[in-house]
Amino acid sequence: MISHSFYMSLALSEAWKYHLLTCPNPAVGACVVSACGKILAVEAHKKAGQPHAEVEALKQAYIQLTNDTSIQKLTDSKEIHDYLLTHHNGCFFGCEIYTTLEPCSHYGKTPSCASLITKLGLEKVYIGAKDFNGKAAGGANMLREAGIDVVEDVLRKPCEDLLISFRHYLQGNFVFFKWAGRLDGSTNDGVISSEESRELVHALRDVCDLLVIGGNTVRTDRPILDARLVNGKAPDVLIYSHEKEFDRSIPLFDVPNRKVFVEESLERVKKYKCVMIEGSEQMFEATRDLTHLYLAFIAPKFAPSKGFRNLKADFRILSERKVGDDIMAWMILDDGKNDGR
C-alpha cells in the first residue's frame, strides 16, 4: 500500500525544483490524489505572484478528472480559482491533497488556497509543515471548520527543511553559498557546469539582492556576474578583498543599475535580504558563520587544478537532482552547531 509519505515526497521533490526562485515567497509543492489513490497532479509554486502550488495542482487534477482543457490557458490565480468554483461540479469528491506547507488562509496577491479547497469538496488534506508567517497562517483551522479532515506533520522535518530559506528571509536575511566543482573537488580552469546549471544560477541571481565574491576570483576570471541567461536583473556585488584597486574594465563594474562595493568586511551582507556567495576554499571558510545553506553543482569531470582540497566539512543533503549533466544539491553543514535555522 502506498503511504502518505510517498505522496508528500512527490510534492517535496517538485517544490525543491523552484527553491528560492519563488522569493520572497516560500517554495511549496502539492500532490492531488483521487479516491482510488491515483496521482492526478504534482505541482509547485513557481514564482512570486503566480498561482500557489495547491492551485496549480487542483487545476491539473481538474483536467484529469473532467477532460476539460479550457482551464489550461488560465495563468492568473484568481481566474483559476473562479473557473474551478464555477465548473468543478463535484468532480473532486473523495479526492485528497498533500501540501508541503499549510494552505494559506488570507487573500494577498492571490486568493486563499484554504478557502478554495473548502468549496471544492475534497475529502482530506495532508499538511507537511505549519505556516509560521502570521499573515498566511490558519489555513488548517479554516479547513477543519469547513468539515474537511486534516492530517498534519506528514514528513514534517523534510517539509520544514524546505522552509529554512524562507524562515531566515522573514527573520532578517537569507545567505547561501554556491559553488561549481568537479568530481575531484577542482573548482577552476575554465567552464565547469552545464548550460542548464548556468541558467539556473542566473535565475537565482535574478532573485538575489547581493552577490559576494572574492577579489582574487574577480581578477582571475574577470566575470560579469549578471543574470543575462534568463533576462533577469543583476544583483549588487560585494568584492571581499583587502586590496582596493581593481581593473575597472572587468565586466562586473559596467552593469547598469548595480552597486559594487570593495570592502575588507562582510558586514554589508546583513543589509541585504537575499544573498548569494560564490567562491572556493578561502571564501567558504571566511563565510561559514554567515551561511545558512550550501548549493553545489557537481560536474562529472576531473581536472588537474585547484579547488576544495584542504577543507574539512560534513554536509547533510536536503535535496539533490540532476540539472543538465550535473548533480545539484542543496545542503546544510552537519557540524552539530545548528540545523540551518
Residue whose C-alpha is closest to residue 294's, from 318, 267, 324, 321: 318
Task: Specify whether the CB–CB gap between 105 and 135 falls below 8 A.
Answer: no
- Cell numbers at 328, concatenated: 545539484
Scanning the structure block, which residue is given the C-alpha cell 539533490? Answer: 320
How far are the Cα atoms of 15, 104, 200 from residue 51, in angstroms, in the given order?
Answer: 13, 12, 21
- Of the residues 14, 54, 160, 278, which is catalytic? 54
> Residue 195 catalytic?
no
b/e map of 180-194 (b: 16 or more CB within 10 Å)? bbbeebbbbeeebbb
Scanning the structure block, which residue is given the C-alpha cell 544573498? Answer: 275
How far are the Cα atoms of 201, 237, 238, 248, 323 from residue 260, in angstroms, in the given order?
Answer: 19, 5, 6, 11, 30
Helices 77-87 + 53-66 axis angle, to 10: 40
Distance CA(337)–CA(291), nearest Å, equals: 13
Instruction: Name every residue whose Cβ is closer than 8 Å to that of residue 3 and which is 6 or more positions away in sequence.
Output: none
Task: Specify whether the CB–CB gap between 287 and 212 falls below 8 A.
Answer: yes
Residue 329, beta-bridge partner list = 296, 320
Distance CA(339)–CA(316), nearest Å, equals: 9
Residue 246, beta-bridge partner list = none
- The residue count of the chain comes to 341
Residue whose C-alpha is closest to residue 205's, from 184, 187, 230: 230
Coil, helix or strand at residue 270: helix
Type and span of the H or E element at 319 = strand 315-323
Q: Which residues are catalytic?
A: 54
